[in-house]
C-alpha cells in the first residue's frame, strides 16, 4: 500500500537511525538488510525503494551517525574534563549503539567503500578542530597536538574498555582515561557524577 510523502521521509530517517545504531552494536556484517527494515517497522522488500544497495545504506548510516553527536561538553567551564567524563562514562562503554561511531566501528570502516571513510575523515577533522579551540597550549600547533592526542587516547581507551573481558579492568581503563585525558589532572577521578543524559555523545532530538 502506498504511503504519504511525509511518511516516506520519516521512514527514511528511521531506517538510517536504526541502521546506524545496529551497525554500531553488531558491526556492518552482523546486521542484515532485513534486520534493519524489521527494526524500522517495514519489510525487507521495501528497502530498495530507499537505497540502491546495502553499501549505500552503510555509507549514509555512517554519515548520519557521525553527524548526530552530543556537543554539550563544549559549553562546560572545564570542557576537557566534561568531554572525558562523558566519553569514558560506564554508560557510553556499555551502549555502543547510542555512542560514538568512531569507537564502535573504527577498525571496520577501513574496509568500507570510499564514502564511509570520507565521512569519518571529515567528522574526525571537525572534532579535532573543535577540541583544539578548547585545549590548553601556547600555540595553535600545541593545542592541535593536544586535541589529537586527547581524541586518540579517549577512543583507544573506550575501545579497549569494551574489548576487555574483566569488569575491573574495564573500570580501570575508563577511570585512568578520564584522569589522564580529562583536563585538570586528578580532578576527574574524584568527580563521580554521571552525565544527565542517558546516551553520551548522541543528540536526543
Partner DNA sequence: TGTACATCAGTGAACGCGCGTTCACTGATGTAC
Give the footprint of DNA on this chain (CB under 7 A).
1-8, 11, 31-34, 42-50, 53-55
The least distance separating DNA from the CB of residue 52, rounded to whole angstroms, comes to 7
What is the C-alpha separation between 144 and 150, in angstroms, rounded? 10
The least distance separating DNA from the CB of residue 179, rounded to whole angstroms, comes to 41
The least distance separating DNA from the CB of residue 99, rounded to whole angstroms, comes to 23
Q: Which is nearer to a copy of itself, 42 or 177 (CB)?
A: 177
33 binds a copy of itself (CB under 8 A): no
Q: What angle do CA 15, 19, 25 make, to 5 degrees?
A: 155
For residue 103, give the nearest of 132, 127, 136, 80 by alpha carbon: 127
Part in contact with a copy of itself (CB under 8 A); list of ranges 40-48, 70-78, 106-114, 197-205 = 106-114
Helix axes 167-181, 140-163, angle to 10 degrees: 170
163 binds a copy of itself (CB under 8 A): yes
What is the C-alpha separation between 197 and 202, in angstroms, rounded? 9
Amino acid at each position: 500500500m502506498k504511503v504519504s510523502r511525509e511518511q516516506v521521509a520519516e521512514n527514511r530517517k528511521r531506517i538510517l537511525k536504526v541502521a546506524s545504531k545496529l551497525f554500531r552494536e553488531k558491526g556492518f556484517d552482523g546486521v542484515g538488510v532485513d534486520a534493519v527494515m524489521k527494526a524500522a517497522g517495514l519489510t525487507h522488500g521495501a528497502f530498495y525503494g530507499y537505497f540502491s544497495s546495502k553499501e549505500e545504506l552503510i555509507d549514509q548510516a555512517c554519515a548520519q551517525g557521525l553527524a548526530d553527536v552530543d556537543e554539550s561538553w563544549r559549553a562546560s567551564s572545564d570542557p576537557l574534563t566534561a568531554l572525558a567524563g562523558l566519553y569514558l562514562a560506564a554508560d557510553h562503554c556499555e551502549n555502543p549503539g547510542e555512542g560514538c561511531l568512531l569507537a564502535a566501528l573504527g577498525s571496520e570502516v577501513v574496509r568500507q567503500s570510499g564514502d564511509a571513510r570520507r565521512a569519518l575523515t571529515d567528522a574526525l577533522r571537525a572534532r579535532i578542530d573543535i577540541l583544539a579551540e578548547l585545549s590548553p597550549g601556547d600555540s595553535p600547533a600545541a593545542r592541535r597536538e593536544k586535541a589529537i592526542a586527547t581524541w586518540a587516547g579517549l577512543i583507544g581507551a573506550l575501545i579497549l574498555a569494551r574489548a576487555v573481558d574483566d569488569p575491573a579492568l574495564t573500570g580501570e581503563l575508563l577511570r585512568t582515561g578520564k584522569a589522564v585525558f580529562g583536563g585538570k589532572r586528578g580532578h576527574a577521578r574524584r568527580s563521580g557524577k554521571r552525565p544527565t543524559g542517558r546516551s553520551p555523545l548522541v543528540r536526543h532530538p
